[in-house]
Amino acid sequence: MTKKILSTPIKDEDLEDLNVGDVVYLTGHLVTCRDVAHRRLIELKQELPVDVRGGAIFHAGPIVRKKEDGKFEMVSIGPTTSMRMEKFERQFIAETGVKLIVGKGGMGPETTAGCKENKAVHAIFPGGCAVLAATLVEEIERAEWQDLGMPETLWVNRVREFGPLIISIDTKGNNLIEQNKAIFNEKKTSAIDRIKSQVRFIK
Amino acid sequence: MNKDQSVQDMTDTMAKFTSYIGKRLPNDVKDKLAELRTFETNPLAKAVYTSMAENQEAADKLDRPSCQDTGVIQYFIKAGARFPLLGELEEILRHATEGATRMGPLRHNAVETFEEKNTGTNTGTNIPWLDWEIVPDDDGATIDVYMAGGGCTLPGKATVLMPGQGYEGVTDFVFDVITSRGINACPPLLVGVGVSTSAETAARLSKRAILREVGSSNANENAAKMEKLLEEGLNEVGIGPQGLTGANSVMGVNIESSARHPSTIGVAVSTGCWAHRRGKIRFNADLSYEIISHKGAVL
């Protein structure tokens, strides 16, 4: 099976055929963007210092080392819990024109709506696999909003075949983790009932 | 050895050990993940387990923190009342955290609350967090170090049930936490449950529970039975790695408990992600040490 590779800038038509559960890789630019950057853009109305139109953001706060020549080295960069950005993401997509959001775990109905309205996708990179990810970063080209500290700085990474990225929200309104949650909730009822009948320790 | 030298030596050892456990998983977790991987047939679950294994190999080879979120550093200390550096331990562990932060390097994860500034050192008010138990008539010290990452800390929850809700209510509580926020916390999780008298006692015990080895059992027969039932029940839900569905959900369920007020059941859940980074080290009075969690580790 050949690898499906997305390249920045990403166009709407690159995303239209993608379905939840598909695996893709990214070549181009991937900008870290998490809690405070979202809050600054949406609530504090500050302009994002990096143009991510047609681009990709990564919900991630990496470990970065400053080298002797003044350049930054990516040591370890894995995804953070995307759900924390649910509050802001729909508006973030609309305002920035971002096309690919990479993170961990699912996001909610607002992001799903935002992805449908503006043709964007959310993808899961396996959580905790941060050294694997760091080896796929070719260079940190820029670092913006460094006043936020290491985890929250916007690190502009040039990446090559960055993945696996598992599409969890597609452009058609499908949400993989929400679908999975429905399955989990269905299965848990019978398990809970069986356990309860065996833990009546208070008699 | 004079006292200053002893303090320096123990600080160096703890800095190295703290850094070390961010790069390599403890034996029990490693073994359990290898076992769980063999049960998967779902292609996405298999792909994720492959990435996990590749990542741990790369972290070891490149000597880097395996997950970028090296957490807030917490130390759980079981110190003998006659341990020679008992009074110096707090300072030792604070400096060890700073040392590990440079050495790892670790991510800067201590944000002063209300000031809302990252200290850049992983130390701050009451951070690293220390949890103490004093053992009478002992001159050694056993220290568990834990990297409390954000993802696996987020599901944490405590409440106080009424006795009428019973252990049936405890079951509901555990399932609710794991099948909601637990999904985003990098499963397969190690689930810690505290059953106790109030919110904070249950919370502390739930954290202690995830420091216990994967596969170990509570000494109380009913508690051990409940651990097994919860583990099997949660696995039946089939959350799979990263919530992508699969053959299992958890690495295990560990319960720790205390006596309780007759009118209350305090219950809490803490979760450890698949990259459950903790280490156990035992110091003798002469500061010779044994690493218990990582066999053959050389600092």
Task: Quote the pLDDT of residue A1.
Answer: 61
CA B254 to chain centre: 12
Helix ranges (H only) for A102-173 are 109-118, 130-134
Flag whether residue A106 sits within 8 Å of chain B, measured between CB atoms.
yes
In B, minimum Cα distance to A166 occurs at: B44
Location of structure tokens 């079951």:
B171
Mean pLDDT taken over chain B: 97
**Chain A residues inside the 8 Å CB shell of B166:** 199-202
Region B71-98: what's the mean pLDDT?
Answer: 98
| Helix H or strand E encompassing B151 | helix B150-153
Distance CA A176, CA B13 (A): 45
Q: Sort out which chain A residues have CB atoms less than 8 A from B165's CB and list them.
A: none
Q: Which of A78, A148, A201 sits opposite B222 (nearest CB)?
A: A201
Min Cα separation A9/chain B (Å): 26
CA distance B118 to chain A (A): 6
Instruction: Report whether A96 contacts A120 (CB < 8 A).
Output: no
Architecture of domain B151-272: 2-Layer Sandwich (3.30)
**Cα–Cα dist A57/A155, whole Å:** 10
Residue given tokens 């769980």 in the structure block: B36
Contact yes or no for A192/B233 (Cβ under 8 A): yes
What is the model's pTM?
0.94
Sketch out chain A's domains with CATH numbers. 5-175 (3.20.130.10)
The complex's ipTM works out to: 0.92
Structure confidence at residue A2 as a pLDDT band (50, 70, 90): confident
pLDDT of B1:
72
User: For testing the chain A interface, which of B24, B184, B264 should be mutated: the one with the most A CBs within 10 Å?
Assistant: B184
CATH 1.20.1070 fits B3-23+66-149+277-291, yes or no: no
- Number of A to B CB contacts under 8 A, please give it: 195
pLDDT of A121 strictly over 70: yes
Q: Are A112 and A1 in contact (CB under 8 A)?
A: no
What is the β-pairing status of strands A100-103 and A63-66?
Answer: unpaired
**Domain layout of chain B by residue ranges:** 3-23+66-149+277-291, 151-272
- Count of positions (residues) in chain A: 203
- Name B176's Cβ contacts closer than 8 Å, sequence gap at least 6: none
Show Cβ contacts of residue B138 under 8 Å, excluding neighbours closer than 6 positions.
B79, B80, B81, B82, B83
Find, in chain B, the residue whose alpha carbon is nearest to that of A150.
Answer: B108
Amino acid at B254: N
Give the pLDDT band (50/70/90) at residue B188.
Answer: very high
A36 shares contact with chain B (CB less than 8 Å)? no
- Please give the share of chain B, as a percent, with pLDDT higher than 70: 100
CA distance A30 to chain B (A): 16
The C-alpha torsion from B222 through B227 and B230 to B235, rounded to 10°, is: -150
Nearest CA in chain A to B152: A81
**Contact between A131 and B65 using a beta-carbon 8 Å cutoff:** yes
Query: In the numeric block, which tokens belong to residue B298?
Result: 């050389």
Mind listing the pLDDT tens digit for each residue in B209-255? 999 999 999 999 999 999 999 999 999 999 999 999 999 999 999 99
Q: Which residues of A touch B68 (CB under 8 A)?
A: 60-63, 75-78, 130, 134
Which of A92, A142, A145 has its CA nearest to residue A122? Answer: A92
Q: Which residues of A are catalytic?
A: 38
Q: Residue B265: which of B192, B177, B176, B194 has the closest Cα?
A: B194
To the nearest whole Å, the CA of B201 is away from the closest chain A CA by 20
Q: How do beta strands B117-118 and A154-169 pair?
A: unpaired
Residue range A29-53, pLDDT digits in tens: 999 999 999 999 999 999 999 999 9
CB contact under 8 A, B171 and A196: yes
pLDDT tens digits for B263-298? 999 999 999 999 999 999 999 999 999 999 999 999
Position of tokens 């990564």?
A: A58
* pLDDT tens readout for residues B2-57: 999 999 999 999 999 999 999 999 999 999 999 999 999 999 999 999 999 999 99
